Amino acid sequence: MFIAHTIEELRAHLSAYQHPAFVPTMGNLHAGHLALVRQAKPLGDVTVASIFVNRLQFLPHEDFDSYPRTWDSDCAQLRAAGCDVLFAPNEKELYPEAQTYKIQPPAGLADLLEGQFRPGFFVGVATVVMKMFACVFSEAKGRRTAVFGQKDYQQLMVIRSMVRQFALPIDIVAGPTQRAADGLALSSRNGYLNTQERAEAVQLSATLQRMAAALRAGASDIAALEAQAMDGLRARGWAPDYLVARRRSDLLPPNANDPAPLVVLGAARLGQTRLIDNLEV
Ligand code: PAF
């Protein structure tokens, strides 16, 4: 695996290829990331992953400083998954001056759910992803692909709409959420959970599964379903931010008798750890 720490090294190396397939990450890799790398492999002639903990997408009180940096194990796992190129710039390389040009995703999409509880998060994500695309795809010709995990459902929608509105010649491919045997969605932040919290953590996906099952069975009082889900997790000691059923197309609440396909999404804090998950209904 070729490791590039600078944009120049990356571009020089990728000039030998035409169709990069790219998986951006913040490191601290787990089986979910590696599944994205494996999914990306047949989609291009070179598989590129990035590791960059992006300060722009963290709020001041969030875990930017303590976000686990697990370089040796990340490199070993990427090699084993068949990644060809790792782009791992430091902050000075990616943001040599204050990043004052930013991508501002539309409020209608980016201010709800995650955006409501993490203001500015999607500005940080969209800005770094646009910049990563400029680094990774500048030498490409023809097909360019980037793979994002479906666990970050709203992030995937923001990236898709950014690519569409800026007419970027990049195919955005969704990778299915990888889960532990008990159903917990794999996440870098699962590592923050202690043994007791890890056993409890499955309740987030279990709650979403119950909501999805109720909707499939014809439940129509969505507000009641959401309130019941919030109360259920609160009673177990969680601090939920949201547990909602939304239209897949725009993440807005469905209207009465709206036949639009739905997704249930949740975010909740267990101890110090904030977990998110979703399920398409
Ligand atoms: O999903 C992530 O890990 C990050 O938001 C991303 C897409 C790598 C941007 O920093």
Partners of 212 in the β-ladder: none
Q: What is the pLDDT of residues 57-81, one digit of tens each?
A: 999 999 999 999 999 999 999 999 9
CATH topology for 188-280?
A: Pantoate--beta-alanine Ligase; Chain: A,domain 2 (3.30.1300)
The pLDDT, as a whole number, for residue 2 is 98
Closest CA to 161 of 151, 172, 150: 172
3 state SS of 148: strand
Architecture category of domain 2-175 in CATH: 3-Layer(aba) Sandwich (3.40)
Q: What is the pLDDT of residues 171-206, one digit of tens each?
A: 999 999 999 999 999 999 999 999 999 999 999 999
Question: Would the CATH topology of 2-175 be identical to that of 188-280?
Answer: no
To test the ligand 1 pocket, which listed residue (59, 127, 155, 160) has its Cβ within 8 A of the most ligand atoms?
Answer: 155
To test the ligand 1 pocket, which listed residue (129, 163, 177, 276) has its Cβ within 8 A of the most ligand atoms?
Answer: 129
Tokens of 107: 């409020």
Q: 0.85 exceeded by the pTM?
A: yes
Catalytic residue among 13, 19, 33, 61: 33
Nearest CA to ligand 1 atom 1: 25
Residue 257 reports pLDDT greater than 90: no
3 state SS of 151: coil
Question: Hey, where are the domains in the chain?
Answer: 2-175, 188-280
Question: How far is CA 120 from its chain centroid?
Answer: 15
- Residue ranges of alpha helices (H) inside 153-265 are 153-165, 195-216, 222-235
The torsion angle over the Cα atoms of residues 149, 154, 155 and 161, rounded to 10 degrees, is 110
Asked if 33 is an active-site residue, the reply is yes
